[in-house]
Chain A
Amino acid sequence: MGLFDKLVTLFGLRKQEVKVLVVGLNNSGKTTVLNHFKSEDDKSTEIVPTVGFNIEKFKNQNVGFTALDMSGQGRYRDLWEFYYKDCQGIIFVVDSSDRLRLAVVRHELDLLLQHPDVSSRALPILFLANKMDQRDALSSVKIASGLGLDRILDKPWHICASNAITGEGLEEGVTWFTQQVRQVGQPGNRPNRTGPLASGKNN
């Protein structure tokens, strides 16, 4: 890589392509979060439970995201781990009004963090404490302590409360996420950009 390329990447002028994984329990709002980032024409009015996974593309601060919207239903959660390998970031959506399943979220998070494809890499993880508008929603601080996020020392992570329907809080989270991904994408620590990502065309 030449000096020019380095400079271009440093200033963020080059269009970067990253693959992110969107995970979380069923009914936490993963598809709704991604729906918010879509252009007005593509937005779907009715969100149905995802089966398997969907692939969505969006752009933020000159970074093109290819998001894998994984299904959160119990029987499809086995699929998540197959996509840990070639993603450059994880968005973990939590339903902050579902106090009952906070233990389940923690268990799934532990499984994710212990997976060899994740534990060995400093993947940025963005936690979205979704459904903040609900009356009995937990605050993001409570969710962070409930999930034991302070245990994550080797990865950059960030939690923000969000409301995927109105889009509140999402911009903040994704801005942080983009910065992290960009840092990872800098020289010396560049993610692998071969394969479908390099050819993936983003408008």
Chain B
Amino acid sequence: MTSLRNLEYEQLWLNAHTDTRAAVYTFSSCITLADLNADGDFKLIVADLGTGSTNVKLKVYKGTSLHSETALLDVPTGVVSFYMDFSEPRMPAIAVASGSNIYIYKNMRPYFKFSLPSMDVNPLEKDLWMQVREEQIEVGVLMELLNNLRLEIGFAQLSTQSQHLLAQDPTTVPSFVQQYCKVPIKRQTVVTCVTTLKKALADEKAVSCLVVGTESGEILVLDPEAFTILEKIKLCHQESSTLIVPAVLSAFGLHAVEFRIVAACRDGSLRLARRGWTESKLLVQLPAQPVAMTVSPENASITIALMNQTLQCFSKKGKLQWVVTLPAAACALCPIPLPHQSTTLVAVSLNGGLLQLYNGRQLVDVIKAPQSVSGLVFGKFGQEENALIMFTVDGSLLVKILKRTAHFNLQGGSTSANVVPGVAQQIKLQIPKKTRLFLDQTMRERDNCVMMHRTFQRDLFQLRVDVARACVQALQSCNNPISLEGAEPVKLSAQVLGLGPLFKMVITLQNISASTLIQDIGILFHFDDKMYSMEKPFIKVPILLPGVEYPYETMIRNISELALSDQIRVMVVREGQTQPVLAAIINMPVCDLLGMV
């Protein structure tokens, strides 16, 4: 069953390209697609982490071939493409965040380097380093005092130099101190994640600001041209000592109008920052650490893959919407917008090489990759609009293209049947307060329950009697369009065509008996001769065979001067019988005044 379904799934994607020897080791945050040369041919820009210390490169793929590569100085934490200015042709810049710097590339040439502002160094620490430089204290004393300081203010508050020193092997300590005591000590934070935020226009090619999350627990919004800090949002409260470090950032809205930045932090909290805020607000404390996150542009709901093998969705206010348990640990996640089906799927890559596509909580597709996919991006690549780019842990590159005819089954057949009700259903709904009117009504009903029931019962019986009477009357006067009694089971239906004053009436007779023939009957019209004149007031009907519908037509002219309408009685009569077999009343339509003129 499962294998069969997988076969069915696979047909939605075309295997466009597989390069098992690409040897690119990367994550989703270091992959971006951009129209680098402004020629409509989208390139794949990927920061290759190499071995972690060597072979760190920024690679550009044009279609299936490697277009260019640039060496990077440090391990990158994020790569984004964004438009810096309005200059023509509209070529996007590439921002590579690594260490405490952000390198901006334009036309794949280094353009600008932005360094995060340095932070204040503890005066005691500064003093210690100065004393060791002037050889007033021994190296051992320095180590001991620094260790004390660490216990006092925390490791994260020390300068980079001290941090390195404390992490050194005891044998290398003296040489390290010798080497670094000359340089002025600095405390600098590093970039943990980076994303973009549109500045003033929501256009696809509009200028965007960079949004940077730092190790010091801050979110910075940078101006795209001057690279000044436009906003500085602290993730933690001023007084609390624990640092909250953002791991994944997602920003949407416009910087100049209103924006929201959602940060999934390393301590497992989901935090929100908005325009004008200097501190973030805790949305929800997640049950596990985040792996990857996406925010839906339509309703701002947050879909996040966690380290406890679940995919969870939160509303923009942080309310849990649903939880899906994944069959394996999640490695990466990316949104797949499908404008032709007006939805956005979420692709989750799992440990082991499986890729699952979810529409909300419903699994709609499964893709198999030879290895766990660590980097996943969907978007325009080359000339293709719907390309899914995957980098596996063993460094191979896979490109799949969504078929033009692909249609995901979003209604869900068998897959949605076994979805268990989520935690969302156990959340108490907010019911509005009871009104005064409601209470009065309840009181009245409680007091007069016997009387109300009797009144209801009486009215119900009255209604039934009325119905029965009307029914008997109709049967007695044969005033119903279906005659079931006696030897003539005939069904009559009438249709009035035209706008007037000339109408056409079509009477259809049908013998609804199983085998008996009906003969010697006719159709008689009864009408006001001041109102209407009829072509054939009586129609002689030949033998009616069982089951066959017989249409009869006659023309009716409204001869009244006034634009009034009247009823016409149609009766099916039998020769030598005074009572009609059946009858119907037809309300004639008001005739079109214009037609009379």
Contact = CB atoms under 8 A, between A and B. Distances in A.
B226 to A, nearest CB: 36
Nearest to B384: A101
A183 B310 CA distance: 65
Contacts of B16: 100-104
Interface in A69-88: 74, 77
Contact of A25 (B17, B383, B403): B383
Contact of B384 (A97, A104, A106, A136): A104
B383 A107 contact: no
A25 B405 CA distance: 14
Contacts of A106: 14
Contact of B64 (A25, A27, A100, A104): A100
A78 to B, nearest CB: 8
Interface in B357-398: 381-387
A98 B16 CA distance: 11
Interface residues of B, number: 20
B382 A100 contact: yes
A99 B384 CA distance: 12
Contact of A107 (B65, B386, B387, B404): B404
Given A27-B40, A107-B14, A136-B65, A101 B382 contact: yes
Interface string A114-143: 000000000000000000000010000000
A114 to B, nearest CB: 11
A99 B401 contact: no
Contacts of A77: 404
B65 A104 contact: no
A56 interface: no
B63 interface: yes
Given A99-B64, A100-B16, A103-B15, A108 B383 contact: no
B91 interface: no
A98 B17 CA distance: 11
Given A27-B40, A100-B382, A100-B384, A107 B17 contact: no
Interface string A186-201: 0000000000000000
Contacts of B523: none
Contacts of A103: 14-17, 401
Interface in B38-68: 40, 63-65
A40 to B, nearest CB: 28
B401 A101 contact: yes
Contacts of B385: 74
A26 B16 CA distance: 16
A165 interface: no
A111 interface: yes
B399 interface: yes
A101 B404 contact: no
B186 to A, nearest CB: 46
Interface in B1-21: 14-17
Nearest to B339: A75
A97 B63 CA distance: 9
A24 to B, nearest CB: 12
A74 B404 contact: yes
Given A74-B404, A111-B405, A100 B15 contact: no
A100 B16 CA distance: 6
Most chain B CB inside 10 Å of its own CB: which residue of A25, A77, A104, A107: A104
A135 to B, nearest CB: 10
Nearest to B385: A74
A25 B404 CA distance: 12
Nearest to A26: B383
A161 to B, nearest CB: 19
A13 B399 CA distance: 52
A106 B40 CA distance: 22
Nearest to A72: B383
Nearest to B386: A74
A99 B63 contact: yes
Interface string B521-551: 0000000000000000000000000000000
B281 to A, nearest CB: 42
B401 A104 contact: yes
A98 B383 CA distance: 9
B382 A98 contact: yes
Nearest to A106: B14
A136 B64 CA distance: 10
B63 A98 contact: yes
Contacts of A95: 383
Nearest to B44: A100
Contacts of B399: 100
Most chain B CB inside 10 Å of its own CB: which residue of A27, A101, A106, A108: A101
A107 B404 CA distance: 9
A27 B63 CA distance: 14
A106 B404 CA distance: 12
Contacts of A136: 63, 65
B67 to A, nearest CB: 10
Contacts of B15: 103
B377 to A, nearest CB: 14
A54 B16 CA distance: 30
Given A26-B383, A27-B383, A136-B65, A100 B404 contact: no
A20 B383 CA distance: 26
A187 B358 CA distance: 58
A25 B17 CA distance: 17
Given A27-B40, A107-B14, A136-B65, A101 B403 contact: no
A98 B65 CA distance: 10
Nearest to A25: B383
A104 B14 contact: yes
Most chain A CB inside 10 Å of its own CB: which residue of B14, B15, B383, B385: B383
Nearest to B13: A103
A98 B387 CA distance: 14
A124 B572 CA distance: 67
Interface string A22-36: 000111000000000
B298 to A, nearest CB: 21
Contacts of B382: 98, 100-101
A8 B543 CA distance: 66
A100 B40 contact: no
Nearest to A136: B65
A174 B164 CA distance: 72
Contact of A108 (B17, B64, B386, B404): B404
7 A-B pairs closest in CB distance? A103-B14, A100-B63, A99-B64, A103-B16, A100-B382, A27-B383, A100-B64
Given A99-B65, A100-B63, A101-B16, 4 more contacts: A25-B383, A100-B381, A103-B14, A107-B14
Interface of B: 14-17, 40, 63-65, 381-387, 399, 401, 403-405
9 contacts: A25-B383, A26-B383, A27-B40, A98-B63, A100-B64, A101-B16, A102-B16, A103-B17, A103-B401
